[in-house]
Amino acid sequence: MRKPNGFSSKTLDPVLLLYIWAHYLQEQQPSEKKMIYAGIGKPSYLLNEDLALAATNYWQELLEKVAQTKKLITDTTLSPEEKCNWIASTSSAIDYDMPSGVQKAQEMMAQALTKWYSLQEPIDPCSIIFSVGGVSALNLVFGVINQRTPGGKIITPSPYYPFYNNAAHHNHPHFIDLSNEPGYRLTAEALKRSLKQVQEGQKIAAFLFCDPNNPMGYVVGKNEWKAIAEVLKTTSKDIPIIVDEAYAELTFGKKHISLLEVAPELKDRLILLRSATKGFSASGERMAIMLCFNEEIREDLLNATSISYVHAPISLQIAYAQAMLAFTEKKREALSQYYQIQVEYVQKRLKKMNLALPDPSYAVEGTFYVVANLSRLFGTKIPERVADVIDTKGVISTDQEISYALLFQDRMMISPLSFFGANPQLGYVRITCSGGIAELTELLDRLEARL
Ligand SMILES: Cc1ncc(COP(=O)(O)O)c(C=O)c1O
């Protein structure tokens, strides 16, 4: 695989590579049809106002301090030594803080999450580690997990979020294959079956779940989590359970129910991930947290944080925590409805076009993704430029060839499901439903014309 600059893409995330190509094509040929970006997890709902206000207030307070300090600098009655002492005492510089985060932000976030998860026992603010986006949190978690159990398997459902299996992490995934499960959903039964396939003597480093699920859009739900918790309890107590809840705010209808709420007795094994990217429409500012109750694992995570980014930017910790505190069910409903309308529109249209997945029980209950079956494009000629980029030729026979062909010919970016672990010969792709109905209509029209 090649980047537009000619370099090999190596461990670059394949979805990001597709995105880089989409941007490149748009820049190279601006007069052509507008590129439709429906291949990356791009939020488009309005930025969370509480988050922006909290960040603005933080900087405003600092600016006021700076203004006071500037007055001292220009004061001719003060000696240089006196000025020096005054400036140092005004604390108008931004200091380093603790790797876990600033205490005030941890306290606010702990309070917000105690409420979010309806917990009887308040979350200890120390259990929260702020990070620079969910991706960097996952990177640290994988580092710690693999250090604790070198070579150990990470049990995770497939399809999966591609970052889980990026070669740079040196993870050893053991997949719970959902491709033949009803609705392509995670169930306790599928987990049980998959555990039986783990070879004797093979160590398990962690369990890793993504709920609400990217890419399939299922939400595990209370009853299934209960059953899954029972299976997890049959495994060794020292195996961490990572739950990626990056889409926690984006469930259609009822609020999301976490494994933490259903089985608080497992909390010492849990590492929960939350992010401001999707729920607060702030992907570019990189805000996330890890919630880890286990002191030993937390220490490892803090050590990893301290040699990575030291700590997350203070303004963003405060902004994220304050926004979480101010987040209400009403706000969540408005946000999730915005995406639900788009998801339902795309699903309806795909059905009409005969591009829906074969299992009629496939349902998107959260996130903003819909998976489509584009295998009808198999057998058509691979455009020349595509053949050059992805090193292939002849006729389309994989989902990646479908995606790149649509990118170059029809200027639409949608992601092949093989990037998420699916069989490339199925011809499945993931469509991000966030560009608005008009743009999604245009995307589906272009697809229809191509078919
Ligand atoms: C399942 C999942 N986890 C984590 C992330 C990381 O999000 P961010 O780094 O923007 O917080 C994403 C982003 O798309 C995701 O889809």
The string of pLDDT tens digits covering residues 162-179 is 999 999 999 999 999 999
Residue nearest to ligand 1 atom 7, measured at CA: 134
Q: What is the pLDDT of residue 387?
A: 84
19 CA from centroid of ligand 1 (Å)? 15
Q: Which residues contact 412 (CB under 8 A, 6 or more apart)?
A: 35, 36, 38, 406, 443, 446, 447
43 CA from centroid of ligand 1 (Å)? 11
pLDDT along the chain (451 residues), means of 10: 88 92 93 93 96 98 94 92 92 92 97 97 97 97 98 98 95 97 98 93 96 98 98 97 98 97 98 98 97 98 95 97 98 98 98 98 98 97 88 92 96 98 98 98 97 93
Instruction: Identify the CATH homologous superfamily for domain 14-44+331-450.
Output: Aspartate Aminotransferase, domain 1 (3.90.1150.10)
242 CA from centroid of ligand 1 (Å)? 14
62 CA from centroid of ligand 1 (Å)? 31
Atom of ligand 1 nearest to the CA of 276: 11
Atom of ligand 1 nearest to the CA of 278: 10
Atom of ligand 1 nearest to the CA of 40: 14
135 CA from centroid of ligand 1 (Å)? 6
Q: For 280-327, what is the HEC assignment?
A: CCCHHHCCEEEEECCHHHHHHHHHHHHCCCCCCCHHHHHHHHHHHHHC
- Among residues 78, 45, 106, 76, which one has the least CA distance to residue 278? 45
Our mutation pick for probing the ligand 1 site, out of 244, 420, 434, counting the most ligand atoms within 8 A of Cβ, is 244
Q: Which residue type does 118 have?
A: S
CATH 3.90.1150.10 placement within the chain: 14-44+331-450
Q: What is the pLDDT of residue 106?
A: 98
- What is the CATH architecture assignment of 103-326? 3-Layer(aba) Sandwich (3.40)
pTM (2 d.p.): 0.96
Residue nearest to ligand 1 atom 8, measured at CA: 134
Q: What is the pLDDT of residues 387-444, one digit of tens each?
A: 888 888 899 999 999 999 999 999 999 999 999 999 999 999 999 999 999 999 999 9
Q: What is the pLDDT of residue 81?
A: 95
Q: What is the pLDDT of residues 361-398, one digit of tens each?
A: 999 999 999 999 999 999 999 998 888 888 888 999 99
| Total residues belonging to the chain | 451
Q: What is the pLDDT of residue 199?
A: 84
441 CA from centroid of ligand 1 (Å)? 26
Q: What is the pLDDT of residue 271?
A: 98
Distance (Å, whole) CA 237 – CA 297: 13
295 CA from centroid of ligand 1 (Å)? 25
Q: What is the pLDDT of residue 442?
A: 98
CATH 3.40.640.10 placement within the chain: 103-326
CB within 6 Å of ligand 1 — which residues?
A: 41, 133-135, 161, 210, 214, 244, 246, 275, 277, 283, 288
Angle CA(157)–CA(160)–CA(269) in degrees, nearest 5?
Answer: 55
